[in-house]
Amino acid sequence: MKKILDKIYKNAAALNFNNINSLLEKNSSALFLDLGCDDGELSMKLAEKIGTKNIYGAEIVQERLSEAESRGIKVKKINLNNKFDYENNYFDVIHANQVIEHLTDSDNFVSEIYRILKIGGYAIISTENASSWCNIFSSIMGWQIFSLTNFSSEKPSIGNPLSIHRGEKSNLSSWNHVRIYNIYGLKDYFEAFGFKTEAIKGAGYFPLPAILGCLDKTHSHFITFKIRK
């Protein structure tokens, strides 16, 4: 069962990456920032799609930060709950995939993205969806919803017998989920800070084929926003 769930999740995550990639605009001179860049592998792929060599990253885990630096990314160690160490109106493109759900101060996160984006610049933000069918099903069953099972460093995957990370161990508190959003809540949230929503895409429709999330993004597992300053 775990192998099947892992495969379903990976298919959805791959489609979510395709959604992110499809929203990027070609711009060889763009200053591109990846928030929560991890080891930089995804950052490099996105920069390639944009066509830019001006690649910046922010990461909290030192080991991952070092790997990203080895790829040639200009990385800063930043806690994204705090003020970002970048100038106002600096970046053309900002990306954050599966980051906002980990933060205790999401107000700071969204307002700082707005501050450091150039006027006319855009951000692509992707996260899990509280209204996905698998989360709704879990709630009906009285289980912890899939997207909020990993809220403790002591024991990942609490309260849901089908969680794909059940039985695993992680000591990285930065990987814990704090809050989960749905489409209309997140749209309203971004717009409260002055952003304009240009596109919303969905991926993942557990346990059905991931492509169905593109047709019913309201109940897809991953949601991706393109927002512009």
Residue 206: the pLDDT is: 87
Q: What domains can be seen in the chain, in order of their start residue?
A: 2-128+171-228 (3.40.50.150)
Residue 166: the pLDDT is: 65
Average pLDDT over residues 73-85: 97
The values of phi and psi at residue 29, to 5°, are -100, 5
Q: How many whole angstroms separate alpha carbon 205 and alpha carbon 200?
A: 16
Tokens of 223: 């949601």
Q: How many whole angstroms separate alpha carbon 109 and alpha carbon 26?
A: 25
The per-residue pLDDT for range 19-77, each reduced to its tens digit, is 999 999 999 999 999 999 999 999 999 999 999 999 999 999 999 999 999 999 999 99
Burial of 35 (0-12, 13-18, 19+ CB in 10 A): buried
Q: How many whole angstroms separate alpha carbon 119 and alpha carbon 158?
A: 42
Average pLDDT over residues 69-89: 97
Residue 2: the pLDDT is: 58
pLDDT classification of 1: cutoffs 50, 70, 90: low
Average pLDDT over residues 96-108: 96
Average pLDDT over residues 100-119: 97
Q: Which residue has the tokens 């309203």?
A: 188
**Is the whole model's pTM more than 0.85, yes or no?**
yes
Q: How many whole angstroms separate alpha carbon 221 and alpha carbon 203?
A: 6
The per-residue pLDDT for range 165-207, each reduced to its tens digit, is 666 665 556 678 999 999 999 999 999 999 999 999 999 998 8
Q: How many whole angstroms separate alpha carbon 140 and alpha carbon 158?
A: 16
Asked if pLDDT for residue 125 goes beyond 80, the answer is: yes
Q: By the 8 A CB rule, do 107 and 81 touch?
A: no
Q: By the 8 A CB rule, do 82 and 108 touch?
A: yes
Bond preceding residue 161 cis, omega within 30 of 0: no
b (16+ CB within 10 A) / e for 133-162: bbbeebeeeebbbbbbbbbeeeebbeebeb
Q: How many whole angstroms separate alpha carbon 138 and alpha carbon 162?
A: 9
The per-residue pLDDT for range 133-158, each reduced to its tens digit, is 999 999 999 999 988 888 887 777 78
Residue 173: the pLDDT is: 60
Rg (CA), the chain: 17
Residue 171: the pLDDT is: 54
pLDDT classification of 223: cutoffs 50, 70, 90: very high
Average pLDDT over residues 123-139: 95
Which residues, in sequence order, are CB contacts of 35 under 8 Å at separation 6+?
Answer: 57, 58, 80, 94, 95, 96, 99, 109, 113
Q: By the 8 A CB rule, do 205 and 133 touch?
A: yes
- Facing residues of 77 across strands? 59
Residue 191: the pLDDT is: 98
Asked if pLDDT for residue 81 goes beyond 90, the answer is: yes
